[in-house]
Each structure stands twice: as C-alpha cells, then as structure tokens.
Structure 1
Amino acid sequence: MTLDVPRIQTQVAELLLEYGIPSAAIGVLHDGKVVEFAVGVKDVETGEAATIDTVYQCGSMTKTWTALAFMQLVDEGRVDLDEPVRTYLPGFRVGDLEASAMVTPRHLLYHTSGIEEAYGDPGEDDDVYERMVANIADAPQVSPLGHTHGYSAALGYAILARILEVIDGKRWDDIMRDRLFDPMGLTSTGSWREQVDGTRAATGHLIRSLDEGPIVTPVDYLQRAFGPGGNITSTIREVLAMAYVLLNEGTAPNGQRIVSAESIREMMRSRVPVPDRYMFGPQWALGLIVCDWHGETVYATDGSTIGQNARLRILPDSNTAIAMLTNGGPQERFYRKVFNEILVDLGTVTIPDLPIPNPTLHLDLSRYEGVYERPGARFEVSADSGTLRLTLVLDPMQAEFLQKPDRINYELLPVSQTHFLMPPADPLEDTQTVAIYDFTDGAARYLHTNCRVHPRSG
C-alpha cells in the first residue's frame, strides 16, 4: 500500500483546526492490509489524545451492521425479504391498511416504507423495540408504500430488530453480540452506551463558530430507540472489519463466515433510486448507499450522532475501503479532502464534485413553491425575482443553542428540472443538494434533502 501516512496526518491535523473538529481516526483497507492512524484529541476539555483504540459513536452506520444480522436470517431460511412484516410480527399495524398488510423487510432496508417516525417515547428498557412497534399502530404515511425513498432514522431498522428479537428469542443487543461481534472477534464494538469503556470513549463536540471553537455536546448519546439504526460504537479497525466482510463475500478477517456470498451480492445489487442523487449517491441498496464515482460503483455507509460522525466508503473494483470516525462535524468538505488525498495516493478513483448549476434552465417556479414538512422539519420554498429560495425553519430551542436565527434563507440553483444546489448561508455549512419532484398533480409533491423526504403540506 503506497500511502504517505506522515503527509496525510499532517494535512488532517491542519484540516481539523480549519473545521473545528477535535479528532479523527482514519483507516484504510487495501488488498487485505490495514493502515490506521488517529489525529487530535478525544475531548477538548481534557486534551487527551485520540488513538486508533479510541471508541467513537458510529451513528447510522449501525444500519449496515443490523442489515448484516438480518441477512443471516435470510441465509438460514427463517425470513424472506419480500414476505410481509406481518408474517413475523402478526400484530403489526400502522395507520394505512395497505402498508400494514404489505410492507416487507426489503421496504424497511431500502427506506421506502413511507411510515412516519411516530413511535412516541418507547423508553430505555429492554422492550424498547417491542414498544416502538406497538406505538406505531396509528402512524400515518409520509408517502405511499414503495413510492419514494425517504430515510427512516430509527423506526425502519427498529422493526427489523424486533423481527430479529422474535425469531432469536433474545434482545437486539445480545443478537448483535452473538451473531456479529463475537464471531468476528470484535472486542471494542458495542450496541449500547453501557457497553462502552469510558476511558476509551471519544466525547462528541459541536461547533457554533470558529472563534468559539468546538464545545462538548449537550447530548452525549442517542436514545435507545435509535439502537438498531444508530447506536453502535466502535474503533477504526473494527469498522474496517465490517468493510472486510462486505469486500470478501461475507467472510471476516479472522476467517469466520458471517453471511453467505449470495447475501452480500443481494445487499449490493438490490436497489431503489434516491431522489436527491448528488449528495450521497443515486441509489440505495440493502443497508448501503450506492455511489457513482466517475463510472465506478462505490458503496457507502455513514452516520452521525449529536457531536460524532462516521464515514465508510467501499470500492470493490479496487479491493479498498476507507473509514473515518470523528468527534465533531460532519463536514462534507473535510471528508472529501481527506478521502481524496488517500484515494490519489492509492491510485484509485476519487470523489466526484457536485454538479454545476445550469443557468439556461427555464422553470415554472410556481410548481415548486410551497411548504414541505414533517414533525421537526419544515422547508418553505418561494420565488423571489425569478429565483427560488428555501427557508429552513429551526426549532426555537435548537436555534438558540446553535446561536442561529430560527429561519435561515437559502438560494436554490437549478441543476435540472428536479435538482438544485443550495449554497451555504454560513461559513460552517457545506453546499447541499435538494430534489423537489413528483409533479403528478401539477405542483411538486415532495422535497428530498439529506436523504430525508418531506411531503408538501401547503
């Protein structure tokens, strides 16, 4: 592996300061060999250095782990991805009759169930996923079943976890240990905050301004409801062990078979389109994002908690995986700069730039104007002097903590009839992409950004 680690470490240290991120642990798996290093501090208040053994929160990267465990049930013939959830959870019900009867595990893995995250407060006890399933009996549809991709932060994978619990007869946390962590020989990966060695854990940080610098997050862990979709913690080497399984037809670095080669192929090849195709990738597979890097297919799994961030990119054509865990961010520019430095050294394909706006497009702006919202997220799209503008409405408490106004205005620059660039309104922000689409009724029905879908409400 021709990787100039000292040079990259120096560049990462400079970028950490530039973006206000306290530390990063970075690992590269290439042709079966691992290079790993860490830069920065675990906690800005203690100044303790991060190491390759520091444990970070992986956020929604957890979903890939849960998908792997679920595919073991498929291998065993105990579940079918296309059978209704009711086959395994007979009392399963949501507000929509069709979704209640027809939603399948594949829908949940794809994020196409359309079910709103209306699971209430299921608590922190061992029955949390059973309670979540019970609590959604009247949950409405954000969109019709299978109609569009719309990311489910917690609920979709909690339902998958409940199927695992019913079939295995044990709680999800124990299933992950017994099915994945122990067989893979992972000693630093856990599914619940109580399993984390506090002396090795990174502290999450937020940044409100570069002058103030990173501050310790006020929310040091996600609720247990996010477990199957967001609560795994790990080290950089053990994240790469999961990548190894995906690159090596289901076999772990220690030689143990975790899932079948056919299940790995199914995870990668079974896909649905993503409306906002530019920020992460044009398709979503089973627990993985599918990216197109200059014609090469790359698989991604990312995650964020409130103050920590995880990135993993898998390049099968180059037999390569790159992972990064940070206790700050996320910052898209930071990730792109670090990964591209590594990719250039390896002589592989690099991350493509975002598209360029097309000023020649003529849009009927009235078709896009309106309010698009879900609980906790509201976007107002309006036309002003021939330009589309988006107003993000923040929760007042969130705005006060972040020292931001509760209404933030952005310009939308058209890339196509349905896709837009959204330049940042603050130096700490990245350029985002937005899809406004589905003109079945004349006006757009949905706004999709950061993988989330928001239906028109007005």
Structure 2
Amino acid sequence: MSEQTPPTLRPLRQHPDGRRPEGRRRGRPAAAAALALAAVTAGILTPPAAQAATGRPDTVQQGLNALVHTDGLPAALASITDRTGHTRTHTAGVGDLTTGSPVPDDGQVRIGSNTKTFTAVVTLQLVAEGKISLDSPVDTYLPGLLHGDGIDGRHITVRQLLQHTSGIPDYTRSDLRPRPYEPRELVEIALGYKADFAPGAGWAYSNTNYVLAGLIIQRVTGRPLAEEMERRIITPLGLRHTSFPAPGDTTLRGPHPQGYYQEAAGAPLRDITEIDPSWAWAAGQLISTGSDLNRFFGALLGGRLLPKAQLDQMRTTVPAPYFGPGARYGLGLVSRPLSCGGVYWGHGGSFPGYETRGGVTEDGRRAANVAVTLQPADKAVMDRVEHVVDTALCR
C-alpha cells in the first residue's frame, strides 16, 4: 500500500470514526499471512480448559471465535476473573499475521481511554489529601492556560474536566501526525476551536479534559504523571504488566499480539503495533493486560484505591448515550446495564491497532476484559465485542 499523509487521529473515542494513523510498517509476506489467516478460517483454535473438561462450548470462547471467523478481526483476547479471584484467559485468531504465531494468553495491548480512569483515580486521591478541590476552577492550578472562544479556565472546574461537562473541544478533531507531543501542545491545539458549550451546560467526550487533569496532577505533586500512576496505583496493586511508556518508546515490551490498521473495508491490514503514544498521554497512553485491568477495576470498586467519599463522587453519573443505551458517565468511570440485571463499571479504550472493553460488577467481585487487534469501522462489530463482556459478567 502506498505511503500517505497520516489522517486524523480519533482512536480514543469509544466508537472511532474516520481513518486512523500510520504506524511503523512491518513486513507481511503473502504466504505467511495467507497461512495464518487460513488457520483462523479453518478454526484451528485451542479450546479453553473448561470446554475441554466438560465437553460444553464456552460462551466467551464462542464469542471470541465469532469475532475472528465472522467479523474478520485478526485476534481477540479475554480475561475473566470470577468471585473467587481466579482468572481464566481465552484467545482466538492469530497473534502475528506475518509469522502466524499464536495469540499470547493475557497479552499486553494499548488500552487507550482506560487510562482516563487511572488519571481520575490519581486526581481523586489528591482530592482526598486536600491538594485538589473538585469544584475549584482549572485556573487555580493552571493559571492562564485555558483561554479561547468560549473557553475560560476561571469558569471550568476540575469536576467538569473529569466528567466531560467542561465544553472544551477535543484536540483529536485536528489532523495529528503520529510524532512526539508535549501535553501543553495538545491543549493548544484544542484551544484553536470554539467551545462546544458553556461549562456545565452539556456533555461531550473530550480527550483534552484528561490532558488537563494530568497537567493538574503534575502541578500539585511536582512529579511526572507516569511516576504518580506508578507509585499510587500500579505498584501497590502489583500490576506487573501495566506501564506508562517513556517518551519516544514505541514498543510493547511484554508478550503481545500485533495491532493492525485497515485504511478501508477490503484494504490490506497493516501492522501498527509500534507507534509513539505521546499524543494520547493522560487520556490514553497506558499499556496493560486483561488480568491487570480486572485487578485494577476490582480494587477500585472494592474500595482499595479511594476513600468512600471520593469513590461515591466517582460513581455519581450523568447520562452518556455516546457509550451505548443506558450508559452513564461518572468521574472517569462508565456504568453500563447488564442483560442479567444491574450494571457494570469500567471505561473501555480505543488506540490504533487495539480496542478494549470491560469492567467489573457492582460489588467488584467479577471482572471481564476483552481486547481485539483491529479497530472495527463497523459499530455492530464493537457491539458484539461488548456482548462478549456482558456474557462473561452474566454467566
């Protein structure tokens, strides 16, 4: 496929639209790719232990198989943590279309906007410590930074950032080339647009909100955002496969499936695994695994990361149909209805090459995360990914 100018980056949205960016190319020998895809089509998939032991089809595995066989995704992964704390992993498809290698169990992926929940947790921990006030204006912490057409940091609160009610435009509506970015540069891009609405007068998903939250964290702590996430969340919870890539680090360092990009329906798949993630920063830069995400969301809903007062604030929601029927958005946390009754809490994330969906039940005792290695252009495919999450949490 010929080289081209990288198109608009909008991969942190829950249902990405438009084209996605270029990444570093990898070779894709036709014979190896054909053999890999033929293996998937022929159904050469290892059944989970539960299915092998009982002879009954596993509904989660069936869902992943369908995402590969029917929807044409290169790979799908799931990690399911039950009420006893036991985690079962599932895979389908091919981990690398060049070599035909299998999908690694519980492989690392770029988790996109799940990063927002980590950023919100750090912010709310600082609220509990008296270092940040949710209802203070952004200008208190970042004086003079927010200014523009309908945008004034003196009238936008920290709470409005975390809940996407600030009206600040999303910087990803601009044409961003995949290269290193500084957080303030991303904010400046957003300030070139008119406010979406007056602060508190509406709801609109904007990655800029979380870049600003990350800048506030750095201002009040005097430490890098990555360091704060590490010492406050990643290390205490033992998230051994979760990391915030260093500037210029384009790699996934643990076992992982390759992530792919497709210019248009029917176009060749292109390996986009290696990409500079700095344009996502506090809104979407983290790398993790399904089991680590399950541990994180379980700990969060189980009260291990925040005092009750701040967790209650985090779970105070407004309608967010952008995330699907019945969805509501708190402070970096989304609730979605379950088909078996009640809701589950999580976020979800989109990043070039990867889509992740998942969360934890209301009591924090059952968690599921599903990842696929291509951003589907068809919303119906993402609905089926989310259905696998629902199946895992309801069974």
The answer on 1:314 being equivalent to 2:367 is no
Q: What stretches of structure 2 of length at least 5 have no aligned partner?
A: 1-48
Q: The residue matched to 1:246 in structure 2 has which SS? A: helix
Aligned to 2:133: 80
Cα deviations by residue, 1:269-308 (Å, 9 ceiling, x for unpaired)? x22223x367254421111122234662332311111220
Q: The residue matched to 1:310 in structure 2 has which SS? A: strand
Cα deviations by residue, 1:420-457 (Å, 9 ceiling, x for unpaired)? xxxxxxxxxxxxxxxxxxxxxxxxxxxxxxxxxxxxxx
Q: Please show how residues 42-441 of structure 1 align to structure 2 within 5 Å.
A: 42-96=95-149, 99-118=152-171, 128-133=182-187, 139-152=193-206, 154-192=207-245, 194=249, 196-198=251-253, 200-207=255-262, 215-218=269-272, 220-221=274-275, 223-249=277-303, 251=304, 258-268=305-315, 270-274=316-320, 276=321, 279=324, 281-293=326-338, 296-317=342-363, 319-330=365-376, 331-344=381-394, 346=395
Cα offset, 1:157, TM superposition: 0.3
Find the aligned partners of 2:393 and 2:294 in 1 and give their Cα distance: 16
Cα offset, 1:42, TM superposition: 2.1
Q: The residue matched to 1:224 in structure 2 has which SS? A: coil
- Residues 343/59 of structure 1: CA separation in 2 closer, same or farther (3 Å cut): same
Contact 1:114 1:150 in 2 (8 A): yes
Cα deviations by residue, 1:203-244 (Å, 9 ceiling, x for unpaired)? 2123568866x7124574364131111111101111111111
Aligned residues: 331
95-104 or 235-244, which moves further after superposition? Answer: 95-104
AA aligned to 1:12 is: L
- Residues 98/60 of structure 1: CA separation in 2 closer, same or farther (3 Å cut): closer
Aligned to 1:25: 77
Q: Please show how residues 2-41 of structure 1 align to structure 2 within 5 Å.
A: 4=50, 7-8=57-58, 9-39=61-91, 40-41=93-94
Find the aligned partners of 1:223 and 1:31 in 2 and give their Cα distance: 34
Aligned to 1:430: none
Cα offset, 1:266, TM superposition: 1.7
Cα offset, 1:340, TM superposition: 4.3
Task: Point out the structure with max Rg over C-alpha.
Answer: 1
Find the aligned partners of 2:368 and 2:98 in 1 and give their Cα distance: 29
Cα offset, 1:131, TM superposition: 3.7
- Residues 53/340 of structure 1: CA separation in 2 closer, same or farther (3 Å cut): closer
Cα offset, 1:11, TM superposition: 4.9
Find the aligned partners of 2:214 and 2:361 in 1 and give their Cα distance: 28
Cα deviations by residue, 1:55-85 (Å, 9 ceiling, x for unpaired)? 1011111111111111110111100111101
Q: What stretches of structure 1 of length at least 5 have no aligned partner?
A: 252-257, 347-458
- Residues 137/197 of structure 1: CA separation in 2 closer, same or farther (3 Å cut): closer
- Residues 177/280 of structure 1: CA separation in 2 closer, same or farther (3 Å cut): farther
- Residues 5/74 of structure 1: CA separation in 2 closer, same or farther (3 Å cut): farther
TM-score by length of 1: 0.65
AA aligned to 1:304 is: S
Compare the two structures and name the one with the higher strand fraction: 1
Q: The residue matched to 2:80 in structure 1 has which SS? A: strand
State the Cα RMSD in Å. 3.0
Q: The residue matched to 1:325 in structure 2 has which SS? A: strand
